[in-house]
Amino acid sequence: MDLEDTTVIFLSDNGTPWDVPHDLQDADRVKGSLYREGIEVPLIAAGAGVTARGSTCRALINTVDLAATLAELAGQRLAPGVATDSVSFAPYFQDPEAASLREWVFAEHFFPVDAPVVEKRTLRTRTHKLIRRNEGDEFYDLRSDPWELKNLLESPMPPEQIRHYHRLDRSLSDLLTSK
């Protein structure tokens, strides 16, 4: 095997450990949480087919997308029923500025250990994020609040924010009923 025929994809697991929070965050907003430092991780690709070397891509990518990407790189198709929500991110290897192939990304965290199930789910677009947990929703405008410190649901919102919230609320509800 030749390195010219090899693509290396490196990514981290979910988030910053609880004992090393960022200065702007507390220990409840890191690994194991659905906040930025709990689920946003680096992904680095190099090798065959990666022509946009040294560039940064801001498109929405989910770990489930590895399946479609690796299949595409291998010249294969995913078997029917396997990772049906996977989207190949291989096009970004040539054009990291390309429009996002995903409208949103989803993450969830739950604890079914000898207690009532505590569910936490999030749906994120490029501009907004909805976190849903048993005890209520949180909603953030990532353009003005990338560290997710101001829950917009705690005060009156302008119509534009209300529209974003309802769109994410519907998308998350639709996703959960289709599971």
Count how many domains the chain has: 1
Buried b / exposed e over 19-46, threshold 16 CB at 10 Å, is eebeeebeeebbbbbbbbbbbeeeeebe
Query: For position 173, which CATH number holds?
Result: 3.30.1120
For residue 49, being part of any structural domain is answered with no
For residue 25, being part of any structural domain is answered with no
Q: Which residue has the higher pLDDT, 60 or 1?
A: 60
Q: What pTM was estimated for this model as a whole?
A: 0.84
For residue 153, being part of any structural domain is answered with yes
For residue 135, being part of any structural domain is answered with yes
Percent helix, strand and coil across the chain, each to the nearest 5: 25, 20, 55
Least confident of 1-10, 20-29, 117-126, 161-170: 20-29
Length of the chain: 179
Q: Tokens representing 69?
A: 């990407």
pLDDT band at 139 (very low <50, low <70, confident <90, very high): very high
Determine the pLDDT at residue 156: 96
- Could you tell me if residue 132 is left (phi over 0), alpha (psi between -120 and 50 degrees) or otherwise beta? beta
Determine the pLDDT at residue 133: 86
Decide if pLDDT at 121 tops 80.
Answer: yes
For residue 3, being part of any structural domain is answered with no
Decide if pLDDT at 105 tops 60.
Answer: yes
Exposed / middle / buried, residue 123 (Cβ in 10 Å: 0-12, 13-18, 19+): buried
pLDDT tens-digit readout, 21-50: 555 556 677 777 888 878 888 899 998 888
Contact yes or no for 66/9 (Cβ under 8 A): yes
For residue 127, being part of any structural domain is answered with yes
State which residues form the domain around 132. 103-179
Query: Residue 140: in which H helix or E strand, if any?
Result: strand 136-141
Contact yes or no for 152/161 (Cβ under 8 A): yes
